[in-house]
Amino acid sequence: MRLADKTAIITGASTGIGRACALRFAEEGAEVLIADLQVEEGQAVVDEIGAAGGEAQFIEIDVRDPDDNTRMVEECLDTFGGLDILFCNAGVTLAAEITETTDEDMDSLLDVNVKGGMYAARAAVPHMLEQEGDSSILFTASKTGLVAQEDSPVYCASKGAVVMLAKALALDYADRGIRVNALCPGIIDTPMLNRYIEDLPNPQDAWQEFRQAQPIGRLGTPEECADAALWLVSEEARFITGVALPVDGGFTAE
C-alpha cells in the first residue's frame, strides 16, 4: 500500500496509460479521481477499481478548459478531502509535416498537451501548498520530448514543452513540499498507438517496425508506465524532482 491515505487526480485516465495508472494507484491505496472526456470508459475504470475494493470517482472534463480544471480540483477536495497527487496525463497526437498543419491543429494539440497541464497545475498548487505533507505533480511527456521524431513537429514541440514545464515547476516548489516530474513513455501499446498505426499506409509493417524501434525489442505496456509513475509519485522517490524519466525500452539511450 504505497499510496495509502493519498488522494490522486489522473487526467486522461479512461483508457491507455492513464487507465493503467488509475488501477495501479488505487491498488496501492490511493483514492483516485478519473478526469476525462470519455464518460463510459471512465466510469468502467471506476467500476473496475470498485470491484477490486478500491476507491475512485469519475469527472467529465475537457482539459482545454481552465474552468473544468478548477472544477476537477474542487471535486477532488470535496470528495476525498485533499489532493496529494496530480497526474496530468491526457494527451493527443498529430502526425503531420508542418506544411500540412493548420492553425486549428496547432491550437488544439497545444491546448490539450501543454495548456491542459498548466491549467491543472495552476488550480492544484494553492491547495497543495496549504495542506500538510508533501505532494507530487506528474506530467506524461514522451520520449519525443527528449529526442525528435519524423513527421510530428508539433507533437514533439508540445512534449518538449511539457518536460520543461515539469522542470520549471520543480524548481519553483522544491523547497515548498511539491515534487514535480515528467514521465517519458516510448512506444506503448495503447488505443492511441493503435489509432496512429492503423491510419498508416501499411499497418502490418508499421507494427513490426515500431516493435523493433526499441532496443528491448517490443512495445511497452501501459502497466509498465504505471509502475514507473507509481514510483515517481510515491514516498520512495522523495528526493526526486525535476526529472524526465524515460520508460522506453532503451529508445533514448541510442
Ligand X SMILES: NC(=O)c1ccc[n+]([C@@H]2O[C@H](COP(=O)([O-])OP(=O)(O)OC[C@H]3O[C@@H](n4cnc5c(N)ncnc54)[C@H](O)[C@@H]3O)[C@@H](O)[C@H]2O)c1
Least CB distance to ligand X at residue 239 (A): 25
Q: What angle do CA 131, 64, 121 make, to 5 degrees?
A: 20
Least CB distance to ligand X at residue 176 (A): 26
CB 226 within 8 A of CB 20: yes
Q: Hey, how many other C-beta atoms are within 10 angstroms of the C-beta on 56? A: 27
Nearer to ligand X, 5 or 199 (CB): 199
Residue labelled with grid coordinates 522517490: 237
**Spatial separation of the C-alpha atoms in residues 155 and 27, rounded to whole Å:** 32
Nearer to ligand X, 29 or 191 (CB): 191
Least CB distance to ligand X at residue 96 (A): 15
Residues that bind ligand X (CB under 6 A): 11-12, 14-18, 36-38, 61-64, 89-92, 112, 140, 142, 185, 187-188, 190-193
Nearer to ligand X, 27 or 111 (CB): 111
**Annotated catalytic residue within 119, 155, 173, 196:** 155
Residue labelled with grid coordinates 516510448: 186
Nearer to ligand X, 18 or 54 (CB): 18
Least CB distance to ligand X at residue 33 (A): 13
CB 84 within 8 A of CB 7: yes
Reading the block at residue 32, the C-alpha cell is: 483516485
**Spatial separation of the C-alpha atoms in residues 146 and 245, rounded to whole Å:** 10
Give, for 32, the enclosing helix (H) or strand (E).
strand 31-36
**Spatial separation of the C-alpha atoms in residues 142 and 134, rounded to whole Å:** 25
Nearer to ligand X, 125 or 188 (CB): 188
Which amino acid is present at 51? Answer: A
Least CB distance to ligand X at residue 62 (A): 4
Which amino acid is present at 19? Answer: R
Q: Is 173 a catalytic residue?
A: no
**Spatial separation of the C-alpha atoms in residues 93 and 79, rounded to whole Å:** 32
**Spatial separation of the C-alpha atoms in residues 151 and 154, rounded to whole Å:** 9
Residues annotated catalytic, as ranges: 155
